[in-house]
Chains A and B, each alone.
Chain A
Amino acid sequence: MRPLMLHGHERPITQIKYNREGDLLFSSAKDHVPNVWYSLNGERLGSLHGHQGAVWCLDVNWESTHLMTGAADNSLKIWDISTGQVIGSITTVSTVRTCVFSFSADLAAFSTDTQRKQTCHINVIDCRITDSFGSEPILSLPVPDSKVTALQWGPIDEKIVTGHENGRLCQWEVRMGKLLTEVEGHQGNINDMQMSRDGLMFVTASSDHTAKLFDFESLLHLKTYTTERPVNSAAISPILDHVVLGGGQDAAIVTTTSSRVGKFDSRFFHLIFEEEFARVKGHFGPINSLAFHPDGKSYATGGEDGYVRLQSFDQSYFEFNFDY
């Protein structure tokens, strides 16, 4: 494979996401400008200027008309993807750490940080009435014990699952604003959560060196994928029983060790047998976010080195049969 390197950011990538058809790729980084790319040839459609802080999270709606970004400048912005203009902006009390559209994109959920003596809140907003003056959240749930670091919506806009800094997973009922289930998912910070294509399972990536597969409805722990480094992101292949894990050494200690032991590869595990079967090298720093193309024939990684790499699989990947 010959990857495409997308060099639109000057700082570490925080999150990347494809839209539903997979023709667009969105990337956010600690520099203040998220980018929009055509995934086929790596052409940049544009950059979104408006934030004044590191952009931590982004999400795109089902129709690929709106993009939502949350940043460290205490704001959540909704953009028109076709023009790159801000449609809606919400000012928060602290950094927006996660933001996700519900399936219909009528609702969106975001979580705020615990910095400056603020408690972490999960907020749900109605995107239809959100304009540049903002809107009051229709639901705001305080999370006093451990802040939310990953968030996902359930299939029919009813439930939210949150991953926390202490490794717990919580499932919330949106209409009643009630905590339904809580499980001890991981021993460390949950860095990322990504749904399977059918929305029945999700995979979590944690600093405790593992990624785990959970059932969405019951939060039942199904599988564990173990590595020797913190896992920053994990994604499930939409077409095959594969999971790809990205991570690596903590960015803070990379400079004190040789690059050989860095382990910045993306690692492919079999979904069911929990066994690693392939690796792809590329980044010079830890992978912070990765995403599968919705057609399953390519995937993208965003690293601490500021590059987004688009890798399309060779024939050998599809011909590979897992021995069991």
Chain B
Amino acid sequence: MPAIEDTKISSWADEVDETSEDLPPPSEVIDNGLKIVTVYRRNEDGKKEKLICTYKTEKRVVSKTVAFRKTWKKYGASANDKPGPNPATTIAAEETFMQFITSKEDHDKPDDDLLEKLRGMADKTVKCRTCNGDHWTLKCPFKDTGYMPTKVNVPPALDDKKNLMPMDDKNKPSKYIPPYMRDGAKGRGDAMGHRGQRDDSCAIRLSNLSESTQEVDLEELVRPFGDYSKLFLAKDKNTGACKGFAYIHFKHKLSAANAIAFLDGHGYDHLILAAEWSKPQVQQH
């Protein structure tokens, strides 16, 4: 019957929702260039939520053809969309930043093969407990044969000395060479490569930041002092809340000094910030 379609009966689930809720109706205010839409809804816990969406209306001067194309009627799957972006197809993604690569060593480093390297290294350090071969004990060909290797080829007296040297008695390199002794390493303490090369002289540490600080806020805070190459905001892994401190690598020492002079003791978000030069990392051995 066509009459039924006209009176649009909603499904029973919607019906219950509507009757049980005493939420104020949504409102839409247009105020000099800003469209403010307020929607009330209930969240998963049944608590009332007020959602305020503020849209900025922008007037742009464009060429006639572009303006004309803006008046075209939507078609296809968008034929029934209202003017303006449809939230189903157009989603504002989370804020991202362009990561500038300043140090030249940084991108020469084949960092993506780290896993493969680790895996390769693990193979070389594997030692069978049954026959001392370079395979897992489980996969030993002498497994369950009762074979006991004789230890004649490694006299115990020489054992200690051999362990220190990366050569064994057949004059060929042993399986494991510590990272600092490998080709290309610059010596002890350079195992992590890039960590040592990073220039920390223009880096400052900001502390006593409030929990709600985001990268964007931080960027706004430090931008006036000059160009920076890296921003690091310490955040909790699970909640994403700020842990209270951040490191900023400036490009120039002067901007870093200015930033410290201004930001140390600066009131920000009800807290008083502390700014200092970033201290070099303590080597952990």
Contact = CB atoms under 8 A, between A and B. Distances in A.
A323 B180 CA distance: 31
A85 to B, nearest CB: 8
Contacts of B115: 258, 261
Contacts of B98: 1, 268, 278-280, 313-314, 316-317
B96 A282 contact: yes
A6 interface: yes
Nearest to B99: A279
Contact of B77 (A33, A63, A258, A319): A33
Contact of A23 (B66, B94, B95): B66
Nearest to A44: B78
Contact of B70 (A33, A38, A278, A309): A38
Contacts of A313: 98
A1 B95 contact: yes
A47 to B, nearest CB: 3
Contact of A2 (B76, B92, B112): B92
A1 B96 contact: yes
A215 interface: no
Contact of B74 (A44, A48, A275): A44
A84 B77 CA distance: 11
B19 interface: no
A291 to B, nearest CB: 17
Given A1-B98, A84-B76, A43 B85 contact: yes
B112 A261 contact: yes
Contact of B78 (A4, A24, A45, A258): A45
A303 to B, nearest CB: 12
B157 interface: no
Given A7-B88, A41-B85, A42-B90, A278 B101 contact: yes
Interface string B72-113: 101111110100111011111111111111101001001010
Given A5-B91, A6-B89, A317-B98, A45 B112 contact: no
A302 to B, nearest CB: 14
Contacts of B92: 2-5
Interface string B52-85: 0000000010110110011010111111010011
B28 interface: no
Contacts of A314: 97-98
A8 interface: yes
A280 B95 CA distance: 11
Contacts of A117: none
Interface string B179-198: 00000000000000000000
B112 A263 contact: yes
A83 interface: yes
A320 B100 contact: yes
A6 B64 CA distance: 26
Contacts of A48: 76
B227 interface: yes
Nearest to A313: B98
26 contacts: A1-B95, A4-B93, A5-B91, A6-B89, A8-B89, A21-B62, A21-B65, A33-B77, A41-B84, A41-B90, A43-B90, A44-B85, A44-B86, A46-B77, A84-B76, A277-B100, A277-B102, A278-B99, A280-B99, A281-B99, A311-B96, A313-B98, A314-B98, A317-B98, A320-B100, A323-B102
